[in-house]
Structure 1
Amino acid sequence: MTAAIAEKGAPAAPAPGTAQPPPVRGRRRRRERAFDEVPRWQIYLPLGLYLLFTLVPFYWMLLFSLRPAGSDSLVPWPMTFDHFAKVWNERAFSVFFQNSALIGVGTLICTTGVALAGGYALARFDFRIKQGFMLALLCSQFIPGALMLVPLFQIFKNLQLINSPLSVVIAETVFQLPLSIILISGFIRNVPYSLEEAAWVDGCSRLQAFRIVVLPMLRPGLIAVGSFAFVHSWNHFLFALMFLMDGDKQTIPVGLSTLIGADSVDFGALAAGGVISAVPVVIVFAFIQKWLISGFSAGAVKG
Structure 2
Amino acid sequence: MTVQTVRRPRLAASAPPPQLRRRERNKVSRWQIWVPLGLYLLFTLVPFYWMLVFAFRPRGSSSLLPWPITFDNFATVWNELGFAMFFKNSLMVGAASLIMTTVIALAGGYALARYEFRGKRLFMLGMLCTQFIPGAMMLIPLFEIFRTLGLVNSLWSLVIAETVFQLPLSLILISGFIKNVPVELEQAAWVDGCGRLRAFFAVVLPLLRPALVAVGSFAFIHSWNNFLFALMFVNEQEKFTVPVGLAYTLGEFSVDFGALAAGGVVAAVPVVLVFAVIQRYLVQGMSAGAVKG
Asked if these proteins are the same fold (TM beyond 0.5), I'd say yes
* SS of equivalent to 1:218: helix
Structure 1 counterpart of 2:149, one-letter code:
L
Q: Structure 1, unaligned stretches of length 5 or more? A: 1-31
In the alignment, the residues of structure 1 paired with residue 92 and residue 233 of structure 2 have an alpha-carbon distance, to the nearest angstrom, of: 15
In the alignment, the residues of structure 2 paired with residue 49 and residue 302 of structure 1 have an alpha-carbon distance, to the nearest angstrom, of: 35
Which residue is 2:124 aligned to?
134
Which residue is 1:263 aligned to?
253
Which residue is 1:192 aligned to?
182
Aligned-residue sequence identity (percent) comes to: 69
Tell me, yes or no, if the aligned pair for 2:174 and 2:289 is still in contact at 8 Å.
Answer: yes
TM-score, normalised relative to structure 1: 0.87
Q: Structure 2, unaligned stretches of length 5 or more? A: 1-21
Which residue is 1:227 aligned to?
217
Structure 2 counterpart of 1:273, one-letter code:
G
Tell me, yes or no, if the aligned pair for 2:56 and 2:73 is still in contact at 8 Å.
Answer: yes
Report how far residue 33 of structure 1 moved.
7.4
Tell me, yes or no, if the aligned pair for 2:172 and 2:289 is still in contact at 8 Å.
Answer: no
In the alignment, the residues of structure 1 paired with residue 108 and residue 288 of structure 2 have an alpha-carbon distance, to the nearest angstrom, of: 18
1:279 to 258, 269, 275: 269
Structure 2 counterpart of 1:135, one-letter code:
L
In the alignment, the residues of structure 2 paired with residue 103 and residue 140 of structure 1 have an alpha-carbon distance, to the nearest angstrom, of: 22
Any idea what the Cα deviations from partners look like across 1:35-58, whole Å, max 9, x if unmatched?
645464333222222221111111
Any idea what the Cα deviations from partners look like across 1:114-148, whole Å, max 9, x if unmatched?
01111111111111100110010001111111111
Tell me, yes or no, if the aligned pair for 2:109 and 2:174 is still in contact at 8 Å.
Answer: yes
Instruction: Verify: 1:201 aligned to 2:191, yes or no.
Output: yes
Which residue is 2:136 aligned to?
146
Report how far residue 154 of structure 1 moved.
1.4
Which residue is 1:97 aligned to?
87
Give matches, 1:1-303, under 5 Å.
Answer: 36=26, 38=28, 40-303=30-293
* SS of equivalent to 1:203: coil
Any idea what the Cα deviations from partners look like across 1:241-270, whole Å, max 9, x if unmatched?
111121011100000000112211111110
TM-score, normalised relative to structure 2: 0.89
Deviates most, 32-41 or 264-273: 32-41
Which residue is 1:26 aligned to?
none
In the alignment, the residues of structure 1 paired with residue 130 and residue 37 of structure 2 have an alpha-carbon distance, to the nearest angstrom, of: 35
Quick check: which has more Rg, 1 or 2?
A: 2
Structure 2 counterpart of 1:299, one-letter code:
G
Change (3 A) 1:45 1:104: same
Change (3 A) 1:35 1:110: farther
In the alignment, the residues of structure 2 paired with residue 169 and residue 261 of structure 1 have an alpha-carbon distance, to the nearest angstrom, of: 29
Any idea what the Cα deviations from partners look like across 1:202-248, whole Å, max 9, x if unmatched?
11111111111110000000000000000000000111111112101
In the alignment, the residues of structure 2 paired with residue 43 and residue 167 of structure 1 have an alpha-carbon distance, to the nearest angstrom, of: 45
How many residue pairs get aligned? The number is: 274
Report how far residue 296 of structure 1 moved.
1.6
Tell me, yes or no, if the aligned pair for 2:110 and 2:178 is still in contact at 8 Å.
Answer: yes
